[in-house]
Structure 1
Amino acid sequence: MLEPILAFFRRLFAGVSRGLGLVFARIGWPFMAARGWYGRRSWSIRGTVLAVLAIVIGFYGYFFYQTQVWTDFDPDFVDSYRFSERTVPAGQTLATPAPASVDAPAGAVTPPRQCQSSAIVDVAADLTNRNVNSNAWISSMLLYRLGFFGVDWDHTPFFDNKASFQRGVNQALRRTTVELVDSLARVRGTSGIDTNLQDARNNLQFDEYSWYFGLTPFGPKTPTPSYYRAAINSLKKFNVDLAACVTTFDSRADNLVQFVDRIANDLGSTTAILRERSENHNGGWFDTRADDRFWFAYGQLYGYYAVLSAAGADFSQVIRERNLGPLWTDTLGQFKAALRIQPSIISNGREDGMIMPTHLSTMGFYMLRVRSNLVEVRSVLDR
């Protein structure tokens, strides 16, 4: 009775063994052929091949290290700025120089006027520095551009999390520099545009994927990190001028209203992207685009958390006058709650699923809570 069954399983296992053998033979054949070819070559050719292999392995080792090691990543890094200790809004005079006394010695000079620099600009420069100096800018690296055997890394579950996070932070910085140029660093929108901020905005808007050479257009290019490093210098120059009272920062309530409104709209767009992916691509752990959607949103929240923490210092007078302190603190608390979500593997499961979690829906929920608070801040400021 059992003999036919045992015979069947023997044939099955034999067939599987033969199939696996053929598969491994086909996979290993190119390597065996390369080994045979390599063994027949002279030492000069062998040395050249080994050097090329060493270079390729070195490039991939560097690429692996840069994509897996996140330097200076700390959701609580804004605490180091001690924004609560700033008592003067951005752009206002820090202290009135004492008039020269009649008894002062001849030649005594009144100290120059000093103004409060912008915390928003400080944070924007520091976040950009973390993106391109403390870490390599992943999206423009050659191996990232080449992809995985021609497949875009964003379409795989590998090596794209840090790149997506950096692009999310950069999205927040792009929006911030636009608002700095258009309204925050101008007196009621009628004064001239600050050239340093304009340069910073233009540089941060540059293509995120440029390497030293490109095909469209064909020829050498300036890589993306060079533009972003130039933006850092421009932001720092603006703050130097602001501290010397050479330029302006208009910390009025209507500017804060517009700034908060633009951030809320930007987060709303990302929430819609998360919702679309969550509703239409329930692949669980097998959704290869879920991780880059998640980490882009995370990076955006990371950037805006720092920027809005700085805005609390730059607009401290407005926040006090409108009694926004508790609501502002609660809004920043919502950001911190969202940034505590750091899963090792991103899953885009069904919301009513039992096995695979739904990290995209969770992140979307926290983003909506943040956006809801920002809308409430805007409504209070509009009264």
Structure 2
Amino acid sequence: MLDPIIAFFERVFTWIGHGIGLIIAWILWPFLAAGRWYRSKGFILKAVVGGLVLIVVVLYAMFLWRVLWIRNFNPDYVAAYSLEDTSTKAGDQPSIENSGATTRTCSRSVIVDVTADLIDFNVDQNSWISSTLLYKAGFFGLPWDATPFLDNKASFQRGVQQAVQRTSIELVDALGRVRGTSAVDKDLDRARGRLQYDLYTWYFSLTPFGPLTPTPSAYREGRDRLRAFNDRLESCTAVFDARADNLIRFVDRIASDIGSTSAALRDRSDISNAGWFDTRADNQYWFAYGQLYAYYGILTAAHADFGDVIKSRQLEDVWNTMEEQLRATLDLDPVIVSNGKEDGWIMPSHLATVGFYLLRVRSNLVEVRSILDR
């Protein structure tokens, strides 16, 4: 009685095995054909082709080494700034006994320090992935962003850079000027320009034809300009205007930035619920994750720079809650990002999860803004 059932399953597994064999043969066919062609050629051509193949293999090995993980990733990176020990705020001029005008020092902006360090984290402690030649070449012509692998780090870096770009704009337009009416700070203005640079620029371009400044070099210059501004702030030759209305504006801009990312997550969830097989979902997830990673440091730094305003408006509890929620987000670490149905149990929706954390933080920012505006 069981023989027909056994025979049926034998046929099923035979078909499956045959299908898998055809797929493997299809994948290997170009390499086998290339191997046959290579063996039929002369020594000189073999040496040239072999050398080129070796170069490609080495380049891809270096690419894999750079792209597979994020160096020096630390969800508790803000602890290194010891902000709980900060007694002076950005731009303060603490009195020093027997000091003269040439020895007086002011306080650095922690926002600027954290922003500069995030750039350093993105382009020096790690290789900037999005503008590398092999990343731009893709996987046999298919963009890496359209594949389920080797694009998570690039998306994370772009999320960090999004927060850095937003912060640099606010530093120029409001925080680094007196009531927005003084001249634009030259270091901050140059930093803003460099940090808005294209994410994907390599050393050379065909359209327009010619050499270009690569993306990492532009970002390094922006980092150096930020640090130059902070050095001048420390020597009392620059301005950091830590007023309540500037904090309101800064919080508003960050809330809008996070809101845009939340909308992008929502759009992706609406387009697809393919679960683990949605090859674009991981891009959105890691972009949001990188953005929150950066804003965790930047908003914690704002707590220090605007400490007097936050204390006088009795915002300590709300702000601390926001920082805790940002830190909790960084504990998310799915092995495979899934974009399934929100009520799914086999393939969950990680986009909905990170989107929930985004909206919690945005809600806190809106509450902060409301209290400041009273």
TM-score by length of 2: 0.93
Question: Is 1:311 aligned to residue 302 of structure 2?
Answer: yes
* Segments ≥4 residues shifted beyond 4 Å: 1-29
Unaligned runs of 5+ in 2: none
Change (3 A) 1:184 1:27: closer
Tell me which amino acid in the other structure corresponds to 1:62.
M
Tell me which amino acid in the other structure corresponds to 1:134.
Q
Tell me the equivalent position of 1:269: 260
Larger Rg: 1
User: Quick one: distance in 2 between partners of 1:15 and 1:349?
Assistant: 29
> Matches of residues 158-237 of structure 1 in structure 2 within 5 Å?
158-237=149-228
Tell me which amino acid in the other structure corresponds to 1:114.
T
Tell me the equivalent position of 2:72: 72
Tell me the equivalent position of 1:364: 355
SS at match of 1:64: helix
Tell me which amino acid in the other structure corresponds to 1:212.
Y
SS at match of 1:214: strand
Shift of 1:41: 2.8
SS at match of 1:149: coil
Tell me which amino acid in the other structure corresponds to 1:69.
W
Tell me which amino acid in the other structure corresponds to 2:68.
Q
SS at match of 1:226: helix
Change (3 A) 1:378 1:41: same
Tell me the equivalent position of 2:289: 298
The alignment yields a C-alpha RMSD, in angstroms, of 2.3
SS at match of 1:114: coil
Shift of 1:30: 3.8
Question: Is 1:91 aligned to residue 82 of structure 2?
Answer: no
SS at match of 2:210: strand
Any idea what the Cα deviations from partners look like across 1:167-208, whole Å, max 9, x if unmatched? 000000000010000000100011111000001100000000
Shift of 1:352: 1.7
User: Quick one: distance in 1 between partners of 2:204 and 2:66?
Assistant: 21
Tell me which amino acid in the other structure corresponds to 2:150.
F
Tell me which amino acid in the other structure corresponds to 2:71.
T
SS at match of 1:135: coil
Equivalent pair of 1:97/1:112 in contact (CA under 8 Å): no
> Matches of residues 315-330 of structure 1 in structure 2 within 5 Å?
315-330=306-321
> Matches of residues 312-351 of structure 1 in structure 2 within 5 Å?
312-351=303-342
Shift of 1:330: 0.8
- Larger mean CA deviation between 117-126 and 270-279 belongs to 270-279
Shift of 1:15: 7.4
User: Quick one: distance in 2 between partners of 1:3 and 1:283?
Assistant: 37
Tell me which amino acid in the other structure corresponds to 2:351.
L
> Matches of residues 9-24 of structure 1 in structure 2 within 5 Å?
none
Question: Is 1:249 aligned to residue 258 of structure 2?
Answer: no
SS at match of 2:94: strand
Tell me which amino acid in the other structure corresponds to 1:326.
D
User: Quick one: distance in 2 between partners of 1:44 and 1:337?
Assistant: 60
Correspondence for 1:374 among 365, 369, 372: 365
User: Quick one: distance in 1 between partners of 2:358 and 2:261?
Assistant: 9
Tell me the equivalent position of 1:102: none
User: Quick one: distance in 1 between partners of 2:364 and 2:299?
Assistant: 12
Any idea what the Cα deviations from partners look like across 1:234-277, whole Å, max 9, x if unmatched? 01100010000001100111111110111011111111111111
Any idea what the Cα deviations from partners look like across 1:210-242, whole Å, max 9, x if unmatched? 011223323221110010000111011000100
User: Quick one: distance in 1 between partners of 2:316 and 2:73?
Assistant: 27
User: Quick one: distance in 1 between partners of 2:8 and 2:168?
Assistant: 71
Count of aligned residue pairs for this structure pair: 374
Tell me the equivalent position of 2:36: 36
Shift of 1:98: 2.1
Equivalent pair of 1:97/1:113 in contact (CA under 8 Å): no
Tell me the equivalent position of 1:52: 52
User: Quick one: distance in 2 between partners of 1:289 and 1:23?
Assistant: 23
SS at match of 1:134: coil
> Matches of residues 130-169 of structure 1 in structure 2 within 5 Å?
130-169=121-160
- Larger mean CA deviation between 218-227 and 305-314 belongs to 218-227
Tell me which amino acid in the other structure corresponds to 2:215.
T
